[in-house]
Structure 1
Amino acid sequence: MSDLRNSVAAAASGMKSQANRLRHVSENIANVDTPGYRRKMVSFQAALEGGRQTGLVETGRIQLDKSALPSIYDPSHPLADESGHYQGSNVDLVIEIADAREAQRSYEANLKMFDQSRQMSRGLLDLLRR
Structure 2
Amino acid sequence: MSDLQSILALSASGMTAQANRLRHVSENIANADTPGYHRKTVSFEETLERGRKTGAVTTGPVALDRAALSRIYDPGHPLAGEDGFYDGSNVELMIEVADAREAQRSYEANLRIFDQARQMSSSLLDLLRR
Unmatched tracts of structure 2, length 5 or more: none
Match of residue 117 from structure 2 = 117
Normalised by the size of structure 2, how large is the TM-score? Answer: 0.97
Once residues 49 and 34 of structure 1 are traced to their aligned partners in structure 2, the CA distance between those partners, rounded to angstroms, is 41
Match of residue 30 from structure 2 = 30
- Superimposed CA distance per residue, residues 82-119 of structure 1 (whole angstroms, 9 cap, x where no aligned partner): 11110000000000000000000000000000000000
Once residues 19 and 105 of structure 1 are traced to their aligned partners in structure 2, the CA distance between those partners, rounded to angstroms, is 11
Once residues 49 and 36 of structure 2 are traced to their aligned partners in structure 1, the CA distance between those partners, rounded to angstroms, is 38
Aligned partner of 1:83: which letter?
D
Total equivalences in the alignment: 130
1:95 aligns with 2:100: no
RMSD of equivalent CA atoms: 0.9
Once residues 112 and 70 of structure 1 are traced to their aligned partners in structure 2, the CA distance between those partners, rounded to angstroms, is 40
1:21 aligns with 2:21: yes
1:69 aligns with 2:69: yes
Aligned partner of 1:30: which letter?
A
Aligned partner of 1:128: which letter?
L
Unmatched tracts of structure 1, length 5 or more: none
Identity %: 71
Runs of 4 or more above 4 Å deviation: none
Moved more, 49-58 or 115-124: 49-58
Match of residue 42 from structure 2 = 42
Match of residue 107 from structure 2 = 107
- Superimposed CA distance per residue, residues 18-58 of structure 1 (whole angstroms, 9 cap, x where no aligned partner): 00000000000000000000000110010122332221011
Once residues 38 and 17 of structure 1 are traced to their aligned partners in structure 2, the CA distance between those partners, rounded to angstroms, is 21
Alignment of 1:3-22 (within 5 A): 3-22=3-22
Once residues 34 and 58 of structure 1 are traced to their aligned partners in structure 2, the CA distance between those partners, rounded to angstroms, is 29
